[in-house]
Structure formats: structure tokens, C-alpha cells
Chain A
Amino acid sequence: GAVVSQHPSWVICKSGTSVKIECRSLDFQATTMFWYRQFPKQSLMLMATSNEGSKATYEQGVEKDKFLINHASLTLSTLTVTSAHPEDSSFYICSARGLGNTEAFFGQGTRLTVV
């Protein structure tokens, strides 16, 4: 199957700082990438959808100014958590989908801890 790589796997940051998470498609061109957040023992919750070269579309209740998404190339999307607070601590997962493909492939996730 297609490979999607997320970096870093885990990160600890101080409250008030910003953190950037990368999502790369290694062996295909990802025209669409999805960003999810997962709290312990909960479902993956879709945060936003990014299409290469255009602005991300955010789900209801997700602050676009807090969770900045950039999808500048067909193999890379980034999620920046700005002015992070302890309540932003969560597991963030991306998935990537190629043109004409209905199936998306998940990255390995990033554990964010804000202290």
C-alpha cells in the first residue's frame, strides 16, 4: 500500500508556543490530505481537508487561525498548532489521497503534549 509519513512522532512543547507537524506522501502524489485529532478511547475526528494549492476547509468548531494548514506541494502538508495550550494535547493523524483515488492512507500519527 501507499506510504504516508508523519513527523515528528511525538512532541512536547510549552504552553504558548507553536508546533508544526508534517505529513508526506512518499510514493504517490497526494492531491488531498486530511487532518484528524484523536483523544484517548475516542474516534478519529476530522479537523480539516487540504487540497494542494488551495486553502484548507475546516470542520465546524475547528479554529482555522489556531490550526494552520499548508498544502503547498503534492507530497507535503503541514499542520501548525499556534499558541498551543494544554487542552490541545492530543494525537494528530493525517491521511493522504491521490487524484482519482477514493481511498486515503494514514500516517503514523503525532502525539502532542503541551505543558
Chain B
Amino acid sequence: KNQVEQSPQSLIILEGKNCTLQCNYTVSPFSNLRWYKQDTGRGPVSLTIMTFSENTKSNGRYTATLDADTKQSSLHITASQLSDSASYICVVRGGGGADGLTFGKGTHLIIQP
């Protein structure tokens, strides 16, 4: 069964600190993996996209990693800001389905001043 598991479910950190969010998947075949940021009451916005051959990709303070062998990905946020408070969703493309996507439940991140 195609699944995307994210951890932790929620996380609270102080402004300025770093954090790492995890994503494990069992989707097959694998096409790509995206990390999205979803602000409360808004649609998901893509942060990074990684294909099978990519290990690391950065977008500003966001750095995603992918280990296709262990089927794990992480999203590292550096020097967190209050505006980083949001849900971060890991989405894997592949494995069929009408939209070809398998969504994780997301990690709810709260940045405290």
C-alpha cells in the first residue's frame, strides 16, 4: 500500500532555532517527492521537489534531503522565523491514483518568539 508517514506530528521551537522534519514513504514506483508549506486556511505551496537522483536541494532557509534507498526524506529549516509557523506536507508522486500523488498528514510547526 502506498503510504507517506511524517514525523513528528507537531513541533514547537523557539524563533531562531533550527529543526528537521521527517518523511518516510512506501510509494512505488517513485517519480518525485515534494515538500509543501501550508499556512492555516491556505492551499499548499511547493518548497522543494526532488527526483530519484537528487540527494539534497535547498530553497533559502529550507533544505530537503532524499535517500531513495531507505525511502526517507527530511526537511531542515534553519534560523526559524515566526512566519515559518505552518503545516509542512510531504507528497510523493508515483504509485498510481488519479492524481498520482500520496500525501502525508503533515507536521504542524509552531515557532514561538
In this assembly, does A44 line the interface, its C-beta being within 8 Å of a C-beta of chain B? yes
- For A102, the chain B residues whose CB sits under 8 A away are 31, 93, 100
Q: Which chain B residue shows the least CB distance to A94?
A: B43
**B-contact bits for A7-38, CB 8 A (1 contact / 0 none):** 00110000000000000000000000010000
Q: Are A46 and B98 in contact (CB under 8 A)?
A: yes
Among B43, B98, B99, which residue has its beta carbon within 8 angstroms of that of A109? B43
Q: Are B105 and A104 in contact (CB under 8 A)?
A: no
Complex interface residues of chain B between 79 and 96 (CB less than 8 A to chain A) = 89, 93
Among A9, A43, A107, A111, which residue has its beta carbon within 8 angstroms of that of B103? A43
CB of A66, distance to nearest CB on chain B (Å): 19
Q: Which residues of B contact A (CB under 8 A)?
A: 9, 31, 36, 41-46, 49, 89, 93, 97-101, 103-106, 108
Show 9 residue pairs from A and B whose CB-CB distance is below 8 angstroms, ordered by the A residue.
A1-B46, A4-B43, A34-B98, A41-B105, A42-B105, A43-B89, A49-B99, A103-B49, A108-B42
